[in-house]
Amino acid sequence: MSGNATGKKRKDFLASYARIKDPGSAGTIRPVNDGEISLITTAAAEDRTMEAAASYPYGFRHTVILNSDGGDCTLDSCVNAAGGAGDVVLDDEGDWVLLEIGVSAADTKAWRIIASDGCTVPS
């Protein structure tokens, strides 16, 4: 299968899910419904921040995918499995991270990294 056909199938698959508009460089991702996806497009190295975790119920999930890579995207306001704070870096097109509202090491609500592929995540 050619790379274009694979890319088209991936985009067709993603189009079937509710998506949140990319807020752009230095913007805040504000999910509305559990399970939504943010497709991120970068023009250079850029940052995104997740909406404050306190705004969401425990167990609420959101996926962020680097859909078009013009540079790395650093996603702030995340914590690792141990509850420690850190940034996620989506380096290449197709990198993704699944986040869920859980508890941080400081015993507060936080966007916990549940799964990822291709990203640099805090250890």
Position 11 in a domain: no
Range of the domain at 35: 18-117
Asked, for residue 64, whether it belongs to a domain, the answer is: yes
- Look at the chain and report how many structural domains it folds into: 1
Residue 113 lies in a domain: yes
d(CA 51, CA 48): 10
Query: For position 107, which CATH number holds?
Result: 2.60.120
Query: Looking at the DSSP assignment, which residues form a beta bridge with residue 103?
Result: 109
What pLDDT shows up at residue 69? 94
Output the pLDDT for position 12: 61
Chain centroid, CA 31 distance in Å: 11
- The pLDDT > 90 percentage for the chain reads 68
pLDDT the model gives residue 82: 82
- The pLDDT score that the predictor gives to residue 105 is 85
Task: Give the 3-state secondary structure of residue 11.
Answer: helix
Does residue 13 carry a pLDDT above 70?
A: no
Pairing state between β 85-90 and 73-79: antiparallel
The length of the chain in residues reads 123
User: Does some domain include residue 51?
Assistant: yes
Reference 71, options 100, 99, 47; nearest CA is: 47
- The answer to whether residue 97 is domain-embedded is yes
The pLDDT score that the predictor gives to residue 4 is 47
pLDDT recorded at residue 63 = 95
Residue 42 counted as domain residue: yes
Query: pLDDT category, 1, cuts 50, 70, 90?
Result: very low
Residue 35: name the closest of 52, 18, 14, 21 by CA. Answer: 18
